[in-house]
Structure 1
């Protein structure tokens, strides 16, 4: 079942909108495990949809797709909690699963099959009358990406940028200076009114996060 996004997000003239499905499960890395709630994002109209991060509950994602054509399933990164429902959604919808190649090191820790397509910086997916642009933003993971939808004024940030700062970098294959540089150079240059729809938790806006860059640097990890 879809959940309220939490902030106003416009609908395109062609009817493309953003929907959120919140799923719950276990994130596992470096021998630890944590109960987490994930945001699964759907960008689409009444006939087609792009799914971002099939997490935990394939049935909930498939229900939200509601019979629409899934033009692609994009993984913002390879941590298990963002990809562990991808195979079932792929099988049910016939879509292709896309991952940045730099994140195969994480994908292969939990998945025994290969993604169908590789993401690249600047790559564009088209859904209805909008374009969804891939931004490579390493740091939380080497192949982490964000998805910018200029027509809707939205950034789907995965675990790169949250309400309150950068995603976690205290685990393997992550790096704090790298994620801060990704945010500084790739994200904070977006219009300040851009709504940031995160991989976990509440949304934010670029303009609400940009003033805190120095605080993040001072705080560190």
Structure 2
């Protein structure tokens, strides 16, 4: 039996640049009945650990370091013994959430994780955050996009450490080249597909110009 994908929705506050917003986050578990990889430990380590159960956590992978995506990472790591992986370009954001701790492992473009016999590849996709990454699992036809790509367009770029032109380049050059039937599992809200989003690239550029 190959890997499957599970979603845990957690709720809390996103805080940046002096503002706070209530958000629901998607936490993705990829694996089988023996082991899982956690994508974005958001808000509620207890709820995530309950969904993991007695399975081994091979890694806690952060798609970026906005507080709403990493605020449960340290507690979950302590509970499971798993290591936290983050792209080093996002250390400035990580320190806002966890000033007294550091991630365990750096992520780099092209890195791979294997869980339940399924390989996931790291794609560095800056723009929403400088160290933003996506995880692509070709055998599952799945992309875990964090806040880089949503159903309806790019992630937000109106706050510190973000850039609209950069996120457009990331989406066009790294994501929209994937197979059209690739399912995009987002950091918030509903999933979409590469094929559903690709025709709207010019609209996003015009809207953001």
TM-score by length of 1: 0.93
Please state if 1:215 is matched with 2:209. Answer: no
Distance 1:58 1:101 in 2: 23
Counterpart in the other structure of 1:150: 138
Q: Is 1:165 paired with 2:153?
A: yes
Q: CA deviation at 1:145?
A: 0.2
> Which of 128, 134, 138 matches 2:122?
134
CA separation in 2, counterparts of 1:102 and 1:201? Answer: 26
Which of 167, 175, 178 is the aligned partner of 1:179? Answer: 167
Match of 1:61 in 2: 48
How far 1:110 moved relative to its partner?
Answer: 1.2
1:48 equivalenced with 2:48 (yes/no): no
CA displacement 1:134-177 (0-9 Å, x = unmatched): 00000000000000010000000000000000000000000000
User: 2:10 pairs with 23, 48, 53, which one?
Assistant: 23
Verify the 8 A CA contact 1:48 1:70 in the aligned structure 2.
Answer: yes
Q: Is contact 1:15–1:46 with CA below 8 Å preserved after alignment?
A: no
Tell me the secondary structure at the aligned position of residue 37 of structure 2.
Answer: strand
How far the C-alpha of 1:15 sits from its partner, in A, is 2.9
RMSD: 0.7
Unaligned runs of 5+ in 1: 1-13
Q: Distance in 1 between matches of 2:118 and 2:60?
A: 16
Distance in 2, Cα, partners of 1:200 & 1:17: 19
Q: Tell me how far apart the structure 2 counterparts of residues 218 and 124 of structure 1 sit (CA, whole Å).
A: 35
Give, in angstroms, the shift of residue 129 of structure 1. 1.2
Contact 2:62 2:85 in 1 (8 A): yes
Q: How many residues align?
A: 208
- Cα contact 1:78–1:103 (8 A) shared by 2: yes
Q: Which runs of 4+ in 1 moved over 4 A?
A: none
- Indicate the SS of the match to 1:109: helix
The question of whether the paired residues in 2 share the 8 Å contact of 1:52 and 1:76 is answered with yes
1:84 paired with 2:71, answer: yes
- Contact 2:2–2:118 at 8 Å: present in 1 too? no
Indicate the residue corresponding to 1:118 in structure 2. Answer: 106
Cα displacement string for residues 28-81 of structure 1 (whole angstroms, at most 9, x for unaligned residues)? 000000000000000001100000000001111000101100000000000000
Separation in 1, partners of 2:147, 2:64 = 8
User: Structure 1: how far apart are the matches of 2:187 and 2:41?
Assistant: 11
